[in-house]
């Protein structure tokens, strides 16, 4: 069976290395934060966002227990506010959309109105040859709508600046899937939506 989490890490490791800056846009229980922290090492930086204080507490405990480098900043704020806290370019970012695992709060979930500006800001912050992973959970209504919204948005981006790919299991329509967004290695400034025919 396809290991989607393993694929997330594989693609991030193709772009992110020691001493670089990464963002976990949906902290949850800190698994992605830990992975990013270990990947960038003691000389790198990781910023992690969540709107729930229990996510910060769970992540802090997880990072300490796992001996993560002290290179992380945990932020109790919506990910769409990323530019208020992250002032430098980033090499990688991870989104795990949906609700906080094991919290019992399935009504507290990422929403389209904040997911879209968060993704737009992430692409603007992304360095050349940087990458974003955006995991989608279509098993609940808002998750399915988030995926549809992002798919249509990614279709509008210039292929000369952004490569947007989708990975999903064809015969399991409610299974999680993900988008991989890669910024081209050249230093052309990101200008958002463009005519893909050119």
**Range 144-158 average pLDDT:** 94
Q: How far is residue 33's CA from residue 24's CA, in Å, rounded to a whole number?
A: 6
Residue 192 confidence (pLDDT): 62
Partner residues linked to 136 by β-bridges? 177
Structure confidence by residue, pLDDT tens digits, 49-83: 999 999 999 999 999 999 999 999 999 999 999 99
Partner residues linked to 131 by β-bridges? 92, 182
pLDDT band, residue 103 (cuts 50/70/90): very low
* Among the listed residues 35, 20, 24, the one whose alpha carbon sits nearest the alpha carbon of residue 73: 24
36 phi and psi angles, rounded to 5 deg? -65, -40
What domains sit in the chain, N to C, each tagged with a CATH number?
A: 4-183 (3.40.50.150)
Residue 134 neighbours by CB under 8 Å, 6+ apart: 95, 97, 119, 150, 178, 179, 181
Asked whether residue 100 carries a pLDDT value surpassing 80, the answer given is no
Query: What percent helix, strand, coil does the chain show, rounded to 5?
Result: 35, 25, 40
**Range 177-194 average pLDDT:** 77
Q: How far is residue 30's CA from residue 62's CA, in Å, rounded to a whole number?
A: 7
Percent of the chain topping pLDDT 70: 89
Tokens of residue 7, six digits: 């694929």
pLDDT band, residue 174 (cuts 50/70/90): confident
Structure confidence by residue, pLDDT tens digits, 21-30: 999 999 999 9
Average pLDDT score, the chain: 90
């Amino acid at each position: 069976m396809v290991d989607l989490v393993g694929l997330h890490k594989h693609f991030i490791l193709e772009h992110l290395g020691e001493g670089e800056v990464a963002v976990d846009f949906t902290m949850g229980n800190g698994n992605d934060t830990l992975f990013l922290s270990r990947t960038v090492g003691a000389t790198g930086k990781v910023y992690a966002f969540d709107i729930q204080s229990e996510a910060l507490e769970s992540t802090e405990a997880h990072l300490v227990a796992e001996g993560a480098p002290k290179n992380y900043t945990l932020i109790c704020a919506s990910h769409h506010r990323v530019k208020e806290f992250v002032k430098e370019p980033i090499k990688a970012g991870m989104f795990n959309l949906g609700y906080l695992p094991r919290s019992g709060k399935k009504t507290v979930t990422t929403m389209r109105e904040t997911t879209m500006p968060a993704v737009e800001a992430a692409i603007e912050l992304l360095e050349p040859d940087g990458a974003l992973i955006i995991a989608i959970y279509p098993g609940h209504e808002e998750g399915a709508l988030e995926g549809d919204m992002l798919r249509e948005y990614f279709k509008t981006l210039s292929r000369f600046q952004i490569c947007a790919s989708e990975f999903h299991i064809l015969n399991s329509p409610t299974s999680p899937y993900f988008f991989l967004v890669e910024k081209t290695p050249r230093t052309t400034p990101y200008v958002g939506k463009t005519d893909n025919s050119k």
